[in-house]
Structure 1
Amino acid sequence: MAKIVVFDSGLGSLSIIKAIQKTSKSEIIYFADQQNYPYGNKSKAQLSKIIQSSIRMLQKEFSPDITVVASNTPSIILDMSIKKIIDVKPPLKDARKISKTKQIGILATKSAINSKGLTQYIKKNNFPKNFKIFKINGSDLVELVESGKFISNKKYCQNIIKKNLDEIILQNNIDTITLSSTHLPFLKILLKKQYPKISFIDPADIVAKKVFSKIKNKQNKRNMLKIFATGNVKTFQTKLNKMGINNKVIFLSS
């Protein structure tokens, strides 16, 4: 029986969990580290301490077969090459194949776009000189998801999306954008409505394939989901309920 831990600082993990459940049958432990939300404004030192502490605690508590760090920010900033750890990075290979204008945007948190880790990751992808990569701060968009406004106030969200993205997208002929925060796929419908000609790439399916390759011989008969959180559990429970998820949230000290 496969047991998978998926965690980040809030609702972002759900986009990854949804993709995993489409390809694998497993028990998923979803840990929302609300106490440390958002990861996107933390320094490298702060993130390193938080992520290492969380991984140790989750491994001790649940002994998972795999732990998915379901957040682009620590995945980009920190070295996550640890056994049984899967992280989430911008799907630049896919973006390179899709883009016709050769102008690609990476939409991520402020910490991620300002990090040396992202600069190094882009270099590793060896883009030809005629490609240009734009780092776009999406922290305001992440907040639209975590606050629940993407459900309750779509008009407001559309205005924030336009305010944050119009100038850089239209001035630079960007035609492909990686959704490099796991919160951002929840805005994909609104993003496509605002920018119908742009391809928005979600890395969740890539992560799901990696998970499946590691547990394909340990499949469960059905999917199971248990949810744990730090911080205000009642508030987080309310957010999940609004998204149609009624699983009980259990407090877990980080």
Structure 2
Amino acid sequence: MAKIAVFDSGLGSLSIICQIQRAFKSEIIYFADQQSYPYGKKSRAQLEKIIQQSIKLLEEFSPNFIVVASNTPSLMLNLSTPRIFDVRPPLKEARKITKSKQIGILATESAIKSKGLSQYIRQNIPKSFKIFKINGSKLVDLVESGKFLTEKNYCKKIIKKELQILDQNLIDVVTLSSTHLPFLKKYLEKEFPNVQFIDSGSIVVQKIFSKTKNMQSKNNSLKIFTSGNTKNFQSKLLKIGIKNKVNFLSF
């Protein structure tokens, strides 16, 4: 049986977890570290401490693998090991899809400003392409607050305001480089029908599956923990159809 621990600062992990559960059966430990939300406004030093503490905490569950389900620390820190998977913008995929050679990277404030992202772009994108780094922290807030479920008109207004750059340029592909952002994909596609929005969830899942294909379970199981208010988090999960009990966990 494959036991996989998945964590980030809140709801973002679910976009990865749902894809894992569709791809194969496993036991998942989900830790929403809401006490540390948002990762996207933390310094490198703050994130390093948070991630190290989170990994140490999750090691107590003896997982086979740990997924750092957030682009921000994945870009700002060196996390990838044989047992730890990180999540990064799917730039190689975007490069194959774009016809205009103009690609948007929608990510948190910290990720956008990080040296790690600049380096990652240089490694994966030729100079003949034009890259737009777009701060999506306010869109991440729409998801974590739960407003994407209850305040649709407000969400449309914020998305239109924050992504004016898409109307002003020939950007035809945008990477959803925060695991929160796939929850807004329907909004984004409706507002910008000529732009293709892609996330890295399936890429990460393929990597995990290659390591776990000989450890398959008969059923999926999901244990949920948060460092925030368990009742509030339970309420958010119920609105998206997840009825699992939420337990408190913190370092």
Quickly name the TM-score band, shorter chain normalised: over 0.9
CA distance in 2, matches of 1:98, 1:194: 20
2:27 matched to 1:27?
yes
How many residues are treated as equivalent by the alignment? Answer: 251
Displacement after TM superposition at 1:68 (Å): 0.3
CA distance in 2, matches of 1:22, 1:209: 12
CA distance in 1, matches of 2:140, 2:179: 9
Alignment of 1:1-254 (within 5 A): 1-59=1-59, 61-125=60-124, 127-166=125-164, 168-254=165-251
Q: Secondary structure at the match of 1:76?
A: helix
CA distance in 2, matches of 1:193, 1:130: 29
The superposition leaves residues 156-199 of structure 1 with CA deviations (integer Å, 9 ceiling, x where unpaired) of 10000000002x11222100000000000000000000000100
Q: Which amino acid aligns with 2:155?
A: C
Misfit runs of 4+, over 4 Å: none
CA distance in 1, matches of 2:162, 2:31: 30
Displacement after TM superposition at 1:149 (Å): 0.7
Q: Secondary structure at the match of 1:159?
A: helix
The superposition leaves residues 45-83 of structure 1 with CA deviations (integer Å, 9 ceiling, x where unpaired) of 000000011101111x21100100000100011001223
TM-score by length of 2: 0.98
Q: Secondary structure at the match of 2:87?
A: coil
The superposition leaves residues 9-38 of structure 1 with CA deviations (integer Å, 9 ceiling, x where unpaired) of 000000000110111110000000011011
CA distance in 2, matches of 1:145, 1:91: 21
CA distance in 2, matches of 1:188, 1:171: 20
Identity among equivalent pairs (%): 68
CA distance in 1, matches of 2:13, 2:117: 21
Displacement after TM superposition at 1:231 (Å): 1.8
